[in-house]
Structure 1
Amino acid sequence: MHDRKAPLLLGAGALALITGLAAPAHARTATPQVPSVAAPAVLPADSAASRAVIDPPRVYGKAAILVDAETGAVRFREAENRRMPIASLTKTMTAYLVLKSAKPGDLVEVRPEDVRYARAGGGTTAYLRAGDRLPVKDMLYALMLPSGADAAHALARTYGPGVSGFVAKMNATARQLGMNDTSYVNADGLPMPGSDGYSTARDQAVLGVQALRDPLLRQVTSTRRHTAARTATHRSYTWSNTNKLLGSPGAVGLKTGFTRAAGFSLAFAGERAGRLLVGVLLGESVSSRRFDTARALLDWGGRVGV
């Protein structure tokens, strides 16, 4: 189902997402005014141009949503409230939460347990070396580009303090943002026996809009390749982004994900017709198709929103 007029339904806590009240400590700005949502122009119902504009692209995943980041208007929705595992989309909350308390230059030490966790869980890794101390900014690249479970574990352990404490903060923050159909069980999205986490396309869109309000997080998630040069505290690293949507005109972040239970997922964003659109695809069965679908949704959303 697609809906060109309905606003994203946000609770009182999620109002901070739209107004900017919950900006991180290192990037607080004056609170912007919430713009009114104007109904998009509608072409004559029987015109060929109308059908070309109104008909959305086909979505193959199990759930999807596309929203206007400025107004909260929903451009497209399909099973957007269905609770599902979201795999590494979880790491967006990890990055967002770290930046609420940490400074980009703060050093995070990688410990053997962080490396062991990623290997034992079968997750993707940033190949961090135990004993290295990296700035938070570089750890975010390690977290979001190659989707490093080792980086997620190190950040959660450091800023919980302890992983369990950090996960509790993740869930508390989700409630504050109005993400009422979300439950995190770890900082990386790997499945855990008997306690799988879940979220919805709608909730992840709420988080995506908020996350992209942070200039550093937007920069990190929009970067295709990042090199952390060798310093006195760590060796050199180079990470490539798993998001193949990047490089397309106007593409901005955000995060890929995959587990067998979740399928292929994608939180994405792009600038179209002067507006930032944020979308989420969950439960796709073909990895490459999620990027084609996201691109098509952004192009379509840019047309129906003008």
Structure 2
Amino acid sequence: MKVNQLIKRCLLVGVAVLGIGGSVGLNNQPINASAKSFRLHFHRGYRMQSIKKRDLISDNYNVKHARAAVAMDANTGNVVYNKNGDKRMKIASVAKLMTLYLVAQKAQSINNGWNQQVNTSNAGLKRMSYNSTLNGGFKFKRNHYSVKQLFRAALVGSSNNSAIALGQWVSGSNKSFIKAMNRQAKAWNLNASFVSASGLENNDLARYGFWAKGGYYAGNEVSANSVATIARNVLNEYPSIVNDAKRLSIKVAGQRLTNVNSLLNGGRLSHFSKGLYIDGLKTGYTGPAGLCFVGTSQKPGKDRMITVVLHDDYEFTDTTSLMQHLYSTSDAFN
């Protein structure tokens, strides 16, 4: 998932260079490449786009490239921007936020929960962890890792095998965990259907034995409003998640994992903007879902902001624009 996300960005850069234009969609073109050089060379940032102030203060403000977008006040739960926010869409690795919520909930409810050991000996998970297009950079070289190690690998590195293993730790099996995800979605009255702990679609999961629910090409489908609600609950349940989410890279069990959130401070080719105080939260990409991003930021003494853009070829530029617009127009955030 992660390498395909990076390759998609590289292709978009190529389109821009050829002069075809930044809004050209590649959504219907399969991207099947796994060269590690893409991860190494383009692991941070792409599309050096400028955002003009006049684009941020329009009375008819629109997140131009996203098929769906939402902004929420994390303190109150109020939705302050909505574009197709109630439409269910595939959300790729953004779905890991629900997984991480359920993991944090259990880890914090039992003694020494974060240091509990998770069994990672499953042959399918080990094979997935060595698939450079699906593993998120974290290989299962051992049969056990701590909950905290896998949590960080799933959050920062977007490790799919780590997310699935954590789900098994929470509920005992992958199928039981998918049921738990859907129970939680129902409890929160979300417009959502979950089939995967990782965000991968079933056609990617089937070869590793983790097709749990739905058709062969089914994936998690969640509305942007519901994604924002999940993010809000994660931040409320485990507010220190931002301490890891804002890191450019992290070493887990001797393996260096890279955060592809281009809005963080210090990243190469970064879209970082000093006045936005961005400290997370989760990127995502699969072919059917496109590029997705959940952002969060908080100015000192002000409410925390959550933004969601789904199927957006310019997810970081659009997120920056949306945050700047809200900071210029809302007393809650500025």
* TM > 0.5: yes
Q: How many residues align?
A: 248
Q: Does 1:114 align with 2:125?
A: yes
Letter in 2 for 1:246: L
Alignment-mate amino acid for residue 221 of structure 1: A
Q: Which residue of 2 aligns with 1:251?
A: 278
Distance between the aligned counterparts of 2:195 and 2:137, measured in 1?
A: 21
Cα distance change, pair 68–169 in 1 and its aligned pair in 2 (3 A): same
Q: What's the counterpart of residue 200 of structure 1?
A: 223
Aligned to 2:246: 222
Cα distance, 1:186 vs. partner?
1.1
For residue 124 of structure 1, report the CA deviation from its aligned partner. 3.7
CA contact (8 A) 2:138 2:257 kept: no
Q: Report the aligned-residue RMSD.
A: 2.3
Identity of counterpart residues, as a percentage?
A: 23
Output the CA distance in 1 between the equivalents of 2:299 and 2:308.
Answer: 16
Residue pairs, 1:1-306, within 5 angstroms: 52=57, 54-56=59-61, 58-102=63-107, 103-111=113-121, 112-118=123-129, 122-179=133-190, 181-192=191-202, 193-213=216-236, 214-228=238-252, 235-247=253-265, 248=272, 249=274, 250-272=277-299, 274-284=302-312, 286=313, 289-306=314-331
Q: Is the 8 A contact 1:272 1:298 kept in 2?
A: no
Runs of 4+ in 1 over 4 A off after TM superposition: 118-122
Instruction: Report if the CA contact (8 A) 1:98-1:155 is conserved.
Output: yes
Structure 1 residue 104, shift from structure 2 partner: 1.6
Distance in 1 between the 2:130 and 2:79 partners?
A: 39
How far apart, CA to CA, are the structure 2 residues paired with 1:224 and 1:109?
27
Residues in 2 aligned to 1:182 and 1:116: alpha-carbon distance in whole angstroms: 29
Amino acid of the structure 2 residue aligned with 1:243: N
TM superposition score normalised by structure 1: 0.75
- Give the Å deviation of 1:201: 0.3
Give 1 or 2: higher helix fraction.
2
**TM-score (structure 2 length as normaliser):** 0.69
Q: Structure 2: how far apart are the matches of 1:251 and 1:293?
A: 14
Indicate the residue corresponding to 2:24 in structure 1. Answer: none
Structure 2: where are the runs of 5+ without partners? 1-53, 108-112, 203-215, 266-271
